[in-house]
Amino acid sequence: MSTFQQFFPGGDSSSSGGGGGVPATTTVAELLVVGGGSSGSMGSQGPYAQCITSQSNTAPDSGGNGGGVLVSSRWLFEQGCVYTVTVGTGGAAQEACGQVHGTSSSIIGYNAPPCALVGHASKRIEALNPYFTSSYAWKMQYLDKHCSPYHQIDQYTCHYGTSVGKSTFIKNGVYPTYGSPIMTICSGSAGGAGNPGCPMNVKTSMVGAGPTGPQKCQFITSVDVNYGSDGLESCISGSPVFYGPGGGGMNPGYHQSIAGVLNIACPSNQAYSGLVQEGGYISCFSPFDQVEMSRPSVSHSGCTYRQPNGSANCCVTAASANYGAGGGVTRPGPQALPTDMNGGSGVVFVRYPTDYSAAASVSGNTPTPAQPGYHVYRFNGDGSITF
């Protein structure tokens, strides 16, 4: 049996969900399918920012991408058929460089082939930097992108991909302890869902003779700055909620010298400088370097902020479950290793008018507030539904 016959037995393309007439045996439903969010992107567990990336990469200590969001205003489900619902998990924090993407969410069954109703996890594309030769400062260099581009399933159904926020270059300077000259950058972008594309634009230049010469360090020459995205707003739960918000970056300072890039880690010198709240802020650790940018407050994404008492500790809010939220990045305390944070799991909603019968059977669902005129099924975890 072909894939087409498996999911559209006896039918043709005109019978696929969302198109053509509505057979009497179908239930027309709205959908929201949100993939799991990525973990935050750790900067370094060593004294130097080994994980810093170049050539259109993700900066260290960036927030994780939110999960991709599929929205359908009209999908035709065949009554009597079982549909399997998978809810994507958030990416697991790791003790290594880069984000860990979550997994995709989906609804699969008759008229819903595996490729169709999917809230995609962001993807990671990775390659070693061919110019890496230093044995000291640039241990790991990735071409690191996290994309899940927008695409349209049919006229009623679209998938919204994920994007990556950016970081910012702050200033040149001298840092005698670690060599001279230096550049100080403030990193920690916010990831996000809802927009296609994932440019990063960390640009670097070689020092000395280049990759085969005596000085092999790269210098950051500029890092673009931009916001992560808030994700996509939906009212399918009965109230407006953003799904797939990006996680907040940590906002460390980076001092780069001949010797390498020093990861300063937690914001310092002033309370709430460089706070990263709700995946919405990026700024710097020092009052001299203050660059603070915000975007609309988005709940549920992972974030990191400094305690107001002036200590060096960072407080952490984990990404909430079931919003497809990106994770944050943190260093829990002076003696704690920096680490990225888990991404949040996804969620699946199915909602349709009470003109249709309630689902014949459902498993794995989570109770959700009633909405007059609708049957609403929420899946915070894997399950199934038969219309």
Partner 1 sequence: MAHFARLDSDNKVINVHVVDNNWVLDGDGKESEAVGIKYLQDLYKTTDSFIQCSINATIRSVYPRIGDTYDVTNDWFEKPKPEIHESWVQNSSTGIWEPPFAPPAVTSKNEDWRWDEETQSYVDINPDNIPSSAEE
Q: Which segment (27-35, 228-236, 352-360, 363-371) binds partner 1 by CB under 8 A? A: 363-371
Q: What angle do CA 77, 104, 16 make, to 5 degrees?
A: 25
CB atoms near residue 97 (< 10 Å): 24
Residues 6+ apart with CB under 8 A from 135: none
CB atoms near residue 157 (< 10 Å): 21
Strand pairing report for 314-317 and 329-330:
unpaired
Alpha carbon separation from 151 to 148, 155, 167, 234, 372 (Å, rounded): 9, 11, 27, 18, 32
Judged by CB under 8 A, does residue 309 bind partner 1? no
- The residue from 103, 122, 273, 304 that contacts partner 1 (CB under 8 A) is 103
- Determine if the peptide bond prior to 47 is cis (ω within 30°): no
What is the per-residue binding string for partner 1 in 215-254, x denoting contact by CB under 8 A?
Answer: --------------------------------------x-
- The residue from 9, 20, 80, 173 that contacts partner 1 (CB under 8 A) is 173
Judged by CB under 8 A, does residue 290 bind partner 1? no
DSSP string, 162-181: EE----EEEEEEEETTTEEE
Cα-only R_g, the chain: 23
Structure-block tokens of residue 251:
């906002």
Q: Among candidates 101, 103, 219, which has minimal Cα distance to 164?
A: 101
Judged by CB under 8 A, does residue 380 bind partner 1? yes
Judged by CB under 8 A, does residue 181 bind partner 1? no
CA pair distance 340, 41, nearest whole angstrom: 6
- The residue from 79, 94, 133, 277 that contacts partner 1 (CB under 8 A) is 94
- The residue from 143, 291, 293, 312 that contacts partner 1 (CB under 8 A) is 312
Judged by CB under 8 A, does residue 268 bind partner 1? yes
Instruction: Indicate the SS3 state at residue 220.
Output: strand
Closest CB 174 distance from partner 1, rounded Å: 6
Q: Which segment (8-16, 40-48, 231-239, 296-304) binds partner 1 by CB under 8 A? A: 40-48
Judged by CB under 8 A, does residue 329 bind partner 1? no
78: which strand partners?
26
Closest CB 112 distance from partner 1, rounded Å: 16
- The residue from 48, 156, 160, 377 that contacts partner 1 (CB under 8 A) is 48
Q: Residue numbers of the site for partner 1 (CB under 8 A)?
A: 44-48, 50-51, 84, 86-97, 100, 103, 135-136, 139-140, 173-177, 253, 262-265, 268-269, 285-286, 288, 312, 321-322, 334-335, 337, 342, 345, 363-366, 379-384
